[in-house]
Amino acid sequence: MSPTFRKRELVVQTDEQYPQPILVEFTQDRADLLNRVQEGQKVTVSINIRGREWTSREGETRYYVSIQGWRIQNADAPAAPANNGPTYGGGAPVAQAPAAPNTNAFSGDDDDLPF
């Protein structure tokens, strides 16, 4: 890390049947976004999921994933535009991939199975 690199972390507890703690990293100028958040406050966090590969000297390859926040809003604030993706458990929006074409031969109304 360089002396100018900044990183702050936020743990978001999802609001669902089985709540989960999710660690979200805010780096560089985005770290200042956490200055206006208080513990226990309900928020909506916009995220990017980052993945990286690491290979040891012995040739063993490992994969790591991090969740980087880029926006945080009070959950009680007016709704954001629809292009931000769905929210996950009332907490952090999930990165939304384009829908894949349906290739399941057993889905839809053209089911001709006798049961």
Q: What is the pTM of this model?
A: 0.60
pLDDT tens readout for residues 7-48: 999 999 998 999 999 999 999 999 999 999 999 999 999 999
For residues 84 and 71, give the distance between their C-alpha atoms in angstroms, rounded to a whole number. Answer: 10
Contact yes or no for 66/28 (Cβ under 8 A): no
Instruction: Look at residue 88 in the predicted model and tell me its pLDDT.
Output: 45
Average pLDDT score, the chain: 78
User: 53-64 pLDDT, tens per residue?
Assistant: 999 999 999 999
> What is the dotted CATH code of the domain comprising 7-93?
2.40.50
